[in-house]
Structure 1
Amino acid sequence: MAVSLLVLLACGIAAVQCDRLSVQGNHFVKGGQKVFLSGANLAWVQYAYDFGNNHYKGRVQGILEGYIRDLSKAGGNSMRVWIHMEGANTPEFDSSGHVIGMDKGGTMLADLKSMLNYAASHNVLIFLCLWNGAVNQGSHAHLDGLIRDTNKLQSYINKALIPMVKGLAGLPGLGGWEVINEPEGVLMPDVTNSDPCFDTTHLKNSGAGWAGKLYKYDDFLRFINWQAAAIKSADAHTLVTMGSWNAKSNVNIKGYYNHYSDACLIKAGGKKQGVLDFFQIHSYDWQGKFDEVSPFTMAASVYHMDKPIVIGEFRESQGAGMTIQEMFNHAYNTGYSGAWTWAITDDWTPKDTWAHQQVGITTVANRHDHGLVKFTL
């Protein structure tokens, strides 16, 4: 009750902005109430080819909207959707690797608006993930340029990112922005540096760098910092995050280090606004067991974080014996601020089918004791 009253008083006459998802301390608030984000990763219908260049209308739109309906019926309130991946389809690049627009066909903004408006009509918040660091495909040269070259990165910010953010600002279906998924996939995991923000010796043999040991943390943290700052400059009320492959790169316990802290991001990129509003950690078992810092082995309070934590990827088939119902209940009951199962279109085993994932989502659908799950947009 105290939280709700304080939030409503702080909102004053700015009722529209007050009703947007926001952060207070280490939890989310919407409309004056503490909320829990429950849902799933889409993450794509056609990898890198869902939006822009006339790809969305037709097959992609129909399939995606069906999944939004499914999620809403199951009692979920949020979905994580991927946009550029490595840059094969969008944004539009010139021959030198500089960005000159959101997409060549001119449909990008309309596509995203269509998805967000449909999601809002079903009370589902969409979190837009821009880039993917978990793979190193042939098209990776576009993303590589943005990570290494600040002029190319600034061209993306000016010509694509800011226009996208401004164009979508205030839409009720927009939950927030994610700069990049699992940059640790192409991280150099054994770099010695006197500054712990950039030192990765504690990640040696951790699994980081599985898609290619290409970048130092200096590069990635600047990449995140600049885009986060640009997003907030274009929409001061939106939320920004990134997706950590494992808590090992995102926490200050058991010998690990939080490389995505405000201090590290600002140190790398120099932009004070370029920080994260909430942390997003992924967790899968290895050889049938969760590691020592998995969120499924502890309460959120053990991490001593000052921001909300969403368990952004997990699934029953790599859940160390936990059922999908147990995983959602654990996230909800032990202080986490959200849970997004992986993934709607990724049904590798009977335990990972979309129908089975919906069973997990339904488990917490009517809960409100640790955060409201059902809310109206």
Structure 2
Amino acid sequence: MKKMLPVICLLAAGSAFAQVPMQTTQDYAQGNRLIINGKPLFISGMNIAWHNFARDVGDQAINGTTFTNTYLKPIKEAGGNAVRWWLHTDAQVDPKMNMSTGAVTGIGTNTINNMRTVLDSAYKYGIVVSMCLFSFDLLQNDGNKSQDEMNRNYKFLTEPANLDSYITNALGPILDAIGSHPAIMAWEVFNEPEGMSTEHGWATQKIAHSNIMRFTSKIAGEVHRRTKKMASTGIHEYSSGELSRYTEAKLKAAGPDNDGYLDFYMVHHYPEYWGANGSPFKHPASYWNMDKPILIGEFPARSWGNGTGYTAGKANETAMTITAAFEYAYDNGYCGAMSWSMTEGNSAKFGNLSTTAPALTNLYNKHPNDINVLAAPASSSSARSSSSVALSSSSRSSSSSRSSSSSLAASSSSRVSSSSSARSSSSAAPSSSSQASSSSQASSSSSSEEATPIILTQTQLTSNHSLQYYNLKGIPLGSVKPKEPGVYIVKNTKTGQIQKVAVK
């Protein structure tokens, strides 16, 4: 008969996995970490980017179980901690707009509910979500928009009063309802807005870049005023000309909005378009000489270069395995890396979860305390909200206030067409991360093992209580005591007590 030796690691005030309250601590970016809900994190994950292109929000209710099992749970099982999710995207169904003027009149009946459903599940699994509001697809017509819709979107982006109507009737209600959800990594204004710029964009219709800057500044300002979360945007490339557009001073002036800045930069890279000079995987983050931390927000989900399925253009010049890419980002000053994508239609070229999973597992095994959202830093008890679960100690410390110093693929038709083809696929590739999930039940990070144990009797542990078991990555295992020897997390659902137990 197996023995269960209960050990308290830390007690969480309140239920950790019940209905999730908004956080009260301020997130910020510092150096090569994002401090989210009091926990310094290296972001290691993937783009989802959508389950149903432009329709994950709106009047239609999302299936939370399907979304969780298809995207969130597999990322967690692979050892990742983050996903990027596109929301309004090209405004096909949300927000609601006046067709003739481009003014926003409201949001879908399930927009907030769908966001909350996904975020609550992400919190349960220890996943943070980049909430990407819009994309250059607003002005890209792949046969999915009428000319009236294209004209409406153009007016929405170029007329200041229409942006004000979006803030009043859509963004404001969203941020007030779920804007400070602890599972939010950041509110991301745009995906690759340069694609719709008159300067060198590739979208069907284009606007002056000054409109993009004003829009970005105003949205970021609202995020900072209304929430405890960070603001960012998905920048198309690592050229100095693109990155330097979005400095704090330039964005504040563009609004104008004194709160309208980005806390960190999310920049994309597709090696077929750029040689070593334009690659984040050949230069440390400091090379770009920016005023905020940098996260690699998109790059192929597979190895690239000779001998791989990704050899187009200049890919051979910077050949790299996907595992080495994640390691390079971690070792060279970036605050995270998120590959593209779980729903990519052309997965033979770009890869998918099955090709990225080994890299996520490798990085987690090497640096669990920097990736595990559920592992709390040793000094974070005062910084985390009362509902946060703290499972292990770490040498890292964090501040509950924003740091003063951190107040914080090239344009081509092939990139667009590959993005378009991806929209036809709404299901993710099956996960190949069994290694991560099977090993996670019996293994733990060194910091978890080093926590000073407090021994309880079996009666104290189980008397009049309902228990739920999790592995050390926070993945739910159910209410039945695990039989496989190893260390587990057990949560008392009545008292909210979180404990670590050893099954022998």
Q: TM-score range by the shorter chain?
A: 0.7 to 0.9
Equivalence for 1:187 = 197
| TM-score relative to the length of structure 2 | 0.62
Q: Secondary structure in 2 aligned to 1:87?
A: coil
Work out whether 1:127 is the aligned partner of 2:130: yes
Residue 149 of structure 1 aligns with an amino acid whose one-letter code is: E
Mapped partners of 2:361, 2:112: distance in 1: 32
Deviations 1:87-123 (A, max 9, x none): 11100112432111112xx111111101000010000
Mapped partners of 1:21, 1:156: distance in 2: 24
Q: CA deviation at 1:147?
A: 1.4
Contact 1:290 1:297 in 2 (8 A): no
Q: CA deviation at 1:26?
A: 5.3
Tell me: higher relative CO, structure 1 or 2? Use CA pairs within 8 A at least 6 residues apart: 2
Mapped partners of 2:326, 2:32: distance in 1: 19
Work out whether 1:307 is the aligned partner of 2:267: no
Q: CA deviation at 1:140?
A: 3.8
Work out whether 1:107 is the aligned partner of 2:93: no
| Closer/same/farther in 2, CA of residues 136 and 362 from structure 1, 3 Å limit | same
The 5-angstrom pairing of residues 314-333 of structure 1 reads 314-315=299-300, 316=302, 317=304, 318=310, 320-333=318-331
Structure whose alpha-carbon radius of gyration is higher: 2
Contact 1:130 1:178 in 2 (8 A): yes
| Closer/same/farther in 2, CA of residues 88 and 32 from structure 1, 3 Å limit | closer
Q: Secondary structure in 1 aligned to 2:198?
A: coil
The 5-angstrom pairing of residues 140-289 of structure 1 reads 140-189=150-199, 208-212=200-204, 214-235=206-227, 237-248=228-239, 251=240, 258-286=244-272
Q: CA deviation at 1:311?
A: 0.2
Q: Secondary structure in 1 aligned to 2:244?
A: coil
Mapped partners of 1:258, 1:172: distance in 2: 30
Mapped partners of 2:61, 2:52: distance in 1: 9
Within the candidate set 328, 344, 354, 1:346 is matched to 344
Mapped partners of 2:176, 2:269: distance in 1: 33
Contact 2:340 2:352 in 1 (8 A): no
Residue 246 of structure 1 aligns with an amino acid whose one-letter code is: E
Equivalence for 2:91 = 87
Deviations 1:240-288 (A, max 9, x none): 000011012xx36xxx66101111112221101011000011000126x
Mapped partners of 1:174, 1:183: distance in 2: 21
Contact 2:263 2:292 in 1 (8 A): yes
RMSD (Å) for aligned C-alpha atoms: 2.3
Equivalence for 1:78 = 82
Equivalence for 1:53 = 59
Q: CA deviation at 1:31?
A: 6.0
Contact 1:22 1:29 in 2 (8 A): yes
Q: Secondary structure in 2 aligned to 1:275?
A: coil
Q: Secondary structure in 1 aligned to 2:250?
A: helix
Mapped partners of 2:152, 2:61: distance in 1: 20
Deviations 1:350-376 (A, max 9, x none): 46032112122212113339x701121
Q: Secondary structure in 1 aligned to 2:341?
A: coil
Greater CA drift, 333-342 or 345-354: 345-354
Work out whether 1:17 is the aligned partner of 2:9: no
| Closer/same/farther in 2, CA of residues 177 and 33 from structure 1, 3 Å limit | closer
| Closer/same/farther in 2, CA of residues 220 and 75 from structure 1, 3 Å limit | same
Residue 244 of structure 1 aligns with an amino acid whose one-letter code is: I
Equivalence for 2:277 = 292
Mapped partners of 1:31, 1:158: distance in 2: 27
Q: CA deviation at 1:55?
A: 4.2
Deviations 1:124-170 (A, max 9, x none): 00111000015612244443222100111100010000110111033
| Closer/same/farther in 2, CA of residues 78 and 142 from structure 1, 3 Å limit | farther
Mapped partners of 1:39, 1:260: distance in 2: 24
Mapped partners of 1:107, 1:243: distance in 2: 25
Residue 157 of structure 1 aligns with an amino acid whose one-letter code is: I
| Closer/same/farther in 2, CA of residues 166 and 228 from structure 1, 3 Å limit | same
Mapped partners of 2:347, 2:184: distance in 1: 31
| TM-score relative to the length of structure 1 | 0.82
Unaligned ranges ≥5, structure 1? 1-14, 190-207
Contact 1:97 1:145 in 2 (8 A): yes
| Closer/same/farther in 2, CA of residues 159 and 16 from structure 1, 3 Å limit | closer
Equivalence for 2:18 = none
Greater CA drift, 258-267 or 38-47: 258-267
Q: CA deviation at 1:69?
A: 0.1
Contact 1:43 1:81 in 2 (8 A): yes
